[in-house]
Amino acid sequence: GENVEQHPSTLSVQEGDSAVIKCTYSDSASNYFPWYKQELGKRPQLIIDIRSNVGEKKDQRIAVTLNKTAKHFSLHITETQPEDSAVYFCAASYDSWGKLQFGAGTQVVVTP
Amino acid sequence: DTAVSQTPKYLVTQMGNDKSIKCEQNLGHDTMYWYKQDSKKFLKIMFSYNNKELIINETVPNRFSPKSPDKAHLNLHINSLELGDSAVYFCASSSLEGISYEQYFGPGTRLTVT
């Protein structure tokens, strides 16, 4: 089955700096890669996703890149703000039933 | 106008008891999921139903039994609760027929087994 590894497990950044989270996946058949943000005590919410036929996608201050050959994808957050503090999860999906394999999560702390 | 709702939000019970968690979505989605999030925040899929049919059944103890009476509802019944069942359980839904693969999560049910 699919295995997703996520690094780092914690990330502390100064407000205004950039944050990068990296994930690798094992199954080359994976074709959908979402990123979820989970604030303390809240539900995970999708912030951006990318499909295997696209190499990069951007939405305001967040962007995701995908390298299918190396089987890794990354989340980039620019101009970080305190409200970006949360746990971020990457995930990969390879089957038509929408089964997501999540990474272990990255705790991002943005300090003013 | 909550998209995915779960009840109860908190559940505290003793070992050996049986409990149920209910989930409802009003998004018109055809697929619903149960996830378990442990104390280390790891999110793991447990079950999934598509149009009331079980499509994903991960390696979960058979004390856990999901049931989908219709496309908008997915319940989780847990028998003989154990300490290790303590976790936050999230319900989610998505549409496998649409363009977006996004899964919408419910608010979670925090289960504490004492």
* Spatial contact of B92 and B67, defined as CB atoms under 8 Å apart: no
Give the residue ranges of chain A where pLDDT is below 70: none
| Structural tokens at position A86 | 């949360």
With beta carbons under 8 A apart, name residues in chain A contacting B33: 98
pLDDT digits (tens, 9 = 90+) for B59-98: 889 999 999 999 999 999 999 999 999 999 999 999 887 6
pLDDT digits (tens, 9 = 90+) for B17-39: 999 999 999 999 999 999 999 99
* Spatial contact of B3 and B15, defined as CB atoms under 8 Å apart: no
With beta carbons under 8 A apart, name residues in chain A contacting B50: 97
Residue of B nearest to A48 (CA): B102
